[in-house]
């Protein structure tokens, strides 16, 4: 299972970011979210979503084994093992692996909680198995 | 302070200094936020009789406890000041993302005080606040400046910006944000221009505290779930506010040729489905909005990008000017946005000028050669620019329709469509007594958002004048603005018809304070009465005549359309007012009685 996004349906509202930080960190702070909404305005007038595909590149490069795959196939950060080296950030092909030391003393990523999907009013986000790619 | 950024930022533009104060607990208790904070600060801090264009006027920019939280549409931003357009109370709001970001920077309200001697812009980067020279931005359009600031500061910055219209002192200039959101009404942008503040950019990295995180998450998710399951969601997402264009045309509420009628014979060219098909390229949401009314468009005919046009603009710059091409309306909208003009007031004042031209009260000699015939798109484009730069005939219109009609005379005030000096928004009110009363008594002038009652007229009988109808208007006026106070959009309640009680557990979990809608409506009533006291304090001789609508609505039945031959008699207009004052606890000149003020805790504010 993983998170999917259809940027064409995104309206840039960022409800997903607020929901993400609330579940992941118990804080209302979109800058602590594990997905991205990029804007291309005023022209051509498009939004672009970046989400974790659970590809595992982050775990593969992590020198401290701070990112582990769980029984559901979801890669999760073990905060106390993270040494903030940012290797995962550089390796992430979608740009959704985060280290921001002013906000948290460990890296973070999508844990597939599904709250972003719950608040998205346009179904631009959804969770499915690998076979349902679009 | 749970649910709040925690501070009020005061910027002294004259001195070029700033200070932060803690957001007072009692202010949060009695006025909650947003429009409530604005009304309180305006009344208590701007001295009686202050010149709206002088140093003493303040621009108060406020969020509410829902702003920036995981709550549907939590992006409302209120701007309050003494109105450069009307001389009374002004409050206008925009959606988007500004107040969410403001709260992440730990700020609930910004109060702009004094006037800067030179153009500046403010950059708020969490704790760091800078007042910077804006010489290189002055004179430029809103879209270019927002783009420049986002590119130079970073995409995460949220920007509010004014255009040339505000710089040049046009009385109905807007504050713009997010390439298409405006606080347009009452000249809140005009005041920002007088203060020489070209823009404010903000970025914050803090979390907003909540009293009970789990309860807040559950209540927030329940609100989103209700929105997503609402029957009205899909059509609203498809058309936004333009969903009403065809309905208004059918029932005679679509302003046509300066409100001389309520149905436009070419109205179909402007309907929502036509717009969706011809120009819309993406849906655009304010912060946390599951049901975005924002439609981002490209008018191919002009290679122009614009957010909108939304319904008000379609009415005021479309049918009200006799324009029957959605691409032309989109281009007029783009011009107004970039120049920083309120599309409603601009459409009102141009519609009036066109009617004067049609009636021979103005000629080409007066208009600098412009042929102001209804439907002349090029003349509209030219006039929008002339108004913004106060050039040519634009100078004559730049103070608003009330002033223009006073200057011209010749009986043109008969069809100057305003209340209290604010041009009426896009609902024609021929024989629609609830909507008419809503406009007459709205606390900023003829604006619809406090009490949108046109559907109620159709439901109960549009000519009915009854205490029940008046009670409905008062309830809407006390209740609906509470969304602007809380910092969330009202349209999830209005258009998706979600249960308003779903907001209460969210508010309690966020702020830690339990409130009922009865309590909240009492706050709404307090703010409404405080604003009434403000008008009485600021306008010498303020009496019931200030609550009368444009004479057109009680003297001239439309010649065509759904409301042809229909009118509300002046006698009924006065009956409506009498009932309204009585139910409000006001005297026959619309002054709140001492008992009412005491009930609302406003005795100390009595004049």
Mutate to test the interface with A, among B285, B291, B305, B334 (most CBs of A within 10 A): B285
A96-132 residues labelled b (16+ CB within 10 A) or e (exposed): bbbbeeebbebbbbbbbbebbbbbbbbebbbeeeeee
Closest-CA distance, A60 to chain B, in angstroms, reads: 30
- Number of helical (H) and strand (E) elements in chain B, helices listed first: 26, 17
B131 and B235 fall within a common domain:
no
Note the Cα B603 to chain centre separation in Å: 29
Strands B120-125 and B197-203: parallel
- φ and ψ of A103, to 5 deg: -110, -35
3-state secondary structure of B304: strand
* Half-sphere exposure of residue B199: CA atoms within 13 angstroms, side-chain side: 34
Q: How far is CA A124 from CA B207, B238, B510, in A?
A: 25, 15, 27
- B298 to A45: CB separation less than 8 angstroms, yes or no: yes
B511: Cα separation from own chain's centroid: 27
CA–CA dist B119, B53 (Å, integer): 16
pLDDT tens digits, one per residue of B170-223: 999 999 999 999 999 999 999 999 999 999 999 999 999 999 999 999 999 999
- pLDDT number for residue B539: 98
pLDDT score at A130 = 77
In chain A, count H helices and then E strands.
4, 6
B372 with B259, same domain: the answer is yes
Tokens of B267: 């109205």
Mark whether B543 and B395 lie in a shared domain: no
Average pLDDT over residues B559-584: 98
Cis peptide before A44, with omega less than 30 degrees from 0?
A: yes
Mean pLDDT of the region B368-393: 98
Sign of the Cα pseudo-torsion (A120, A124, A128, A129, in order): negative
Give the CATH number of the domain where residue B597 resides.
1.10.599.10
Residue B300 forms part of a structural domain:
yes
Measure the CA–CA gap between A112 and B78, rounded to whole angstroms.
36
B449 and B333, same structural domain? Answer: no
Closest-CA distance, A11 to chain B, in angstroms, reads 4
Q: Do residue A11 and residue B104 have CB atoms under 8 angstroms apart?
A: no
- Judged on CB neighbours under 10 Å (0-12, 13-18, 19+), B507 is buried
Sign of CA dihedral B420, B423, B427, B428: positive
Shortest CA distance to B77 belongs to which of B112, B42, B33? B33
Contact B489, B95 (CB under 8 A): yes
What is the structure's pLDDT at B201? 98
CATH at residue B370: 1.10.569.10
Closest approach of A42 to chain B, Cα-based (Å):
6
pLDDT score at B360: 98
Per DSSP, the three-state class of B243 is: helix
From the CB of residue B599, how many other CB atoms can be counted at a distance below 10 Å?
A: 16
**Residue B207 is nearest to which of A27, A38, A118, comparing CB atoms?**
A27
**CB of A2 within 8 A of CB of A116?**
no
* B285/A46 touch (CB, cutoff 8 Å), yes or no: no
Fold of A2-121: Alpha-Beta Plaits (3.30.70)
What is d(CA B476, CA B212) in angstroms, rounded to the nearest whole number? 30
Rounded to 5 degrees, what angle do the CA atoms B89, B94, B99 make?
105
DSSP B499-555: -GGGHHHHHHHHHS----HHHHHHHHHHHHHHHHHHHHHHSTT--GGGG---THHHH
Q: Choose the closest CB to A103 out of B205, B221, B292.
A: B205
Q: Which domain holds residue B404?
A: 231-409
B505 belongs to a structural domain = no
Residue B400: the pLDDT is 98
Tell me the CA distances in angstroms from B198 to A67, B165, B208, one per residue in order: 47, 11, 28
Confidence of residue A132 (pLDDT cuts 50, 70, 90): low
Enumerate the residues of chain B whose CB falls inside 8 A of the CB of residue A116: none
Q: Specify the 3-state DSSP secondary structure of A118.
A: helix
Domain co-membership, B238 together with B155: no
**For the segment A11-36, what is each residue's pLDDT rounded down to a tens digit?**
999 999 999 999 999 999 999 999 99
- State the Cα–Cα distance between residues B378 and B364, nearest whole angstrom: 15
- The mean pLDDT of B551-575, rounded to a whole number, is 97
In a domain, B220, yes or no: no
User: Which residues of B are less than 8 Å from A120 in CB distance?
Assistant: 290
Does B493 score more than 80 pLDDT? Answer: yes
Peptide bond into B309 cis (omega under 30): yes
* CA A99 – CA A81 distance, rounded (Å): 14
**Nearest alpha-carbon partner for B341 in B141, B184, B193:** B184
Q: What pLDDT is attached to residue A97?
A: 98
Examine the pLDDT at A133 and tell me if it is beyond 80.
no
Q: What is the pLDDT of residue A131?
A: 60
Write B403-407 long-range contacts (CB < 8 A, 24+): B403/B171, B404/B349, B404/B352, B404/B353, B405/B352
Tally the domains of chain B: 3
For residue range A100-115, what is the model confidence (pLDDT) as tens digits?
999 999 999 999 999 9
What integer is the mean pLDDT of A57-70? 98
- A68-to-A43, B180, B389, B512 alpha-carbon distances in Å: 40, 44, 62, 38
The pLDDT value recorded for residue B324 is 98
DSSP A7: G
Among B350, B374, B409, give the residue marking a domain's end: B409
Quick: pLDDT tens for B318-363: 999 999 999 999 999 999 999 999 999 999 999 999 999 999 999 9
Average pLDDT, chain A: 96
pLDDT at res. B312: 98
Q: What is the DSSP letter of B284?
A: E
Q: Which of B454, B513, B517, B526 is nearest to B483 (CA)?
A: B517
A&B contacts, CB < 8 Å? 110
Q: Output the average pLDDT for chain B.
A: 98
DSSP β-bridge partners for residue B159:
B201
**What is the distance between the alpha carbons of residues B299 and B319, in angstroms, rounded to a whole number?**
18
Which residues have C-beta within 8 Å of that of residue B336, sequence separation ≥ 6?
A: B313, B317, B342, B343, B346, B384
Express the helix, strand and coil content of chain A in percent, nearest 5 each: 25, 20, 55
Residues B387 and B250 both lie in one domain: yes
Report the DSSP beta bridge partners of residue B289.
none
% of chain B exceeding 90 in pLDDT: 100
DSSP per-residue codes, B154-191: -TT-EEEE--HHHHTT-TTB-EEETTTEEE-GGGHHHH
CATH number at residue B188: 3.60.9.10
Q: Taking a C-beta distance cutoff of 8 angstroms, is the pair B78, B35 a contact?
A: yes
Kindly list the domain boundaries of chain A, sorted by start residue. 2-121
Question: Which DSSP letter does residue B416 get?
Answer: -
Residue B25 within a domain? yes
The answer to whether residue B470 sits within a structural domain is: yes
Residues of B in contact with A25 (CB under 8 A): 207
What are the tens digits of pLDDT across the range B67-109? 999 999 999 999 999 999 999 999 999 999 999 999 999 999 9
Show the tokens assigned to B100.
């969410």
Model confidence at A134: pLDDT above 60: no
Q: Is A38 within 8 Å of chain B by CB?
A: yes
Q: Given an 8 Å threshold on Cβ–Cβ distance, is B289 in contact with A11? A: yes
Hey, is B223 helix, strand or coil?
helix
Residue A18: which of B69, B156, B292 has the nearest Cβ? B69
For the range B117-121, what are the long-range contacts, defined as Cβ-Cβ under 8 Å and sequence gap of 24 or more? Answer: B117/B14, B117/B196, B118/B196, B119/B196, B119/B198, B120/B13, B120/B16, B120/B196, B120/B197, B120/B198, B121/B149, B121/B197, B121/B198, B121/B199, B121/B200, B121/B201
User: For tokens 């986000």, what's the residue?
Assistant: A125
Residue B474 in domain: yes
A8, A13, A115: residue with CB nearest B286: A13
Q: How far is A10 from chain B (nearest CA, A)?
A: 8
**Once rounded to an integer, what is the mean pLDDT over residues B369-378?**
98
pLDDT (0 to 100) of residue B584? 98
pLDDT band, very low/low/confident/very high, at B478 (cuts 50, 70, 90): very high
The mean pLDDT value for B425-435 works out to 98
Provide the pLDDT confidence category of residue A43 given band limits of 50, 70 and 90.
very high
Looking at the fold, whether B311 and B386 belong to one and the same domain comes out as yes
Burial class (CB in 10 A: 0-12, 13-18, 19+), B419: buried
């Amino acid at each position: 299972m993983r998170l999917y996004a259809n940027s064409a349906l995104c309206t840039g509202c960022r409800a997903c970011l607020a929901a993400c930080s609330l579940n992941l960190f118990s804080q209302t702070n979109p800058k602590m979210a594990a997905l991205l909404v990029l804007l291309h305005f005023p022209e051509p007038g498009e939004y672009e979503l970046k989400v974790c595909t659970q590809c595992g590149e982050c775990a593969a490069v992590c020198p401290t084994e701070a990112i582990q795959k769980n029984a559901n196939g979801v890669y999760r950060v073990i905060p106390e093992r993270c040494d903030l080296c940012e290797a995962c950030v550089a390796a992430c092909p979608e740009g959704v692996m985060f280290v921001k030391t002013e906000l948290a003393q460990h890296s973070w990523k999508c844990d597939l909680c599904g709250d972003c999907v719950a608040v998205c009013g346009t179904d631009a986000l959804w969770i499915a198995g690998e076979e349902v790619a679009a | 302070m749970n649910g709040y950024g925690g501070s009020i930022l005061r910027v002294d533009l004259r001195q070029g200094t700033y200070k932060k104060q803690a957001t007072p607990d009692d202010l949060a208790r009695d006025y909650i936020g947003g429009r409530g904070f604005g009304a309180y600060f305006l009344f208590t801090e701007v001295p009686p009789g202050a010149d709206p264009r002088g140093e003493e006027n303040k621009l108060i920019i406020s969020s509410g406890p829902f702003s920036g939280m995981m709550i549907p549409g939590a992006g409302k931003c209120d701007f309050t000041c003494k109105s450069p357009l009307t001389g009374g109370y002004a409050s206008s709001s925009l959606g988007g993302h500004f107040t969410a970001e403001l709260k992440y920077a730990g700020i609930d309200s910004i109060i702009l005080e004094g006037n800067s001697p030179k153009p500046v812009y403010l950059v708020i980067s969490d704790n760091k606040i800078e007042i910077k020279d804006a010489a290189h931005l002055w004179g430029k359009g809103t879209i270019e400046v927002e783009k420049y600031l986002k590119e130079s500061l970073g995409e995460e910055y949220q920007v509010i910006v004014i255009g040339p219209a505000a710089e040049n002192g046009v009385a109905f200039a807007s504050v713009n944000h997010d390439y298409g959101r405006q606080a347009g009404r009452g000249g809140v942008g005009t005041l920002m221009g007088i203060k020489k503040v070209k823009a404010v950019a903000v970025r914050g990295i803090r979390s907003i505290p909540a009293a009970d995180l789990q309860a807040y998450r559950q209540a927030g998710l329940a609100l989103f779930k209700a929105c997503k399951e609402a029957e009205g969601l899909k059509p609203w997402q498809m058309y936004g506010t333009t969903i009403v264009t065809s309905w208004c045309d059918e029932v005679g509420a679509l302003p046509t040729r300066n409100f001389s009628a309520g149905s436009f014979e070419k109205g179909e060219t402007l309907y929502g489905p036509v717009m969706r098909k011809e120009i819309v390229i993406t849906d655009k949401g304010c912060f946390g909005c599951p049901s975005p009314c924002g439609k981002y468009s490209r008018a191919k005919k002009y290679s122009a990008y614009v957010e909108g046009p939304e319904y008000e603009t379609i009415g005021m710059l479309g049918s009200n000017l006799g324009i029957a091409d959605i691409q032309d309306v989109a281009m007029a909208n783009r011009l107004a946005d970039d120049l920083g003009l309120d599309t409603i007031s601009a459409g009102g004042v141009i519609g009036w000028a066109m009617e004067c031209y049609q009636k021979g009260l103005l000629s080409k000699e007066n208009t600098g050669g412009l042929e102001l015939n209804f439907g002349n798109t090029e003349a509209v484009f030219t006039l929008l620019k002339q108004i913004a730069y106060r050039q040519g005939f634009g100078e004559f219109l730049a103070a608003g329709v009330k002033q223009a009609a006073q200057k011209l005379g010749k009986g043109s005030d008969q069809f100057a469509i305003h209340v209290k000096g604010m041009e009426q928004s896009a609902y024609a009110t021929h024989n629609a007594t609830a909507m008419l009363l809503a406009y007459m008594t709205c606390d900023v002038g003829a604006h619809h958002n406090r009490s949108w009652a046109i559907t109620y007229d159709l439901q109960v009988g549009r000519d009915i004048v009854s205490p029940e109808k008046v009670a409905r208007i008062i309830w809407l006026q006390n209740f609906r603005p509470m969304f602007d106070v809380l910092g969330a959009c009202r349209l999830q309640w209005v258009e998706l018809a979600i249960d308003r009680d779903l907001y209460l557990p969210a508010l309690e979990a966020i702020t830690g304070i339990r409130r009922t809608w009865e309590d909240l409506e009492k706050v709404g009533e307090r703010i409404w009465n405080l604003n009434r006291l403000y008008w009485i304090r600021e306008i010498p001789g303020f009496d019931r005549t200030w609550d009368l609508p444009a004479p057109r609505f009680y003297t001239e039945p439309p010649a065509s359309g759904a409301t042809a031959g229909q009118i509300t008699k002046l006698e009924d207009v006065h009956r409506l007012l009498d009932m309204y004052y009585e139910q409000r606890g006001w005297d026959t000149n619309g002054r709140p009685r001492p008992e009412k003020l005491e009930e609302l805790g406003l005795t100390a504010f009595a004049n």
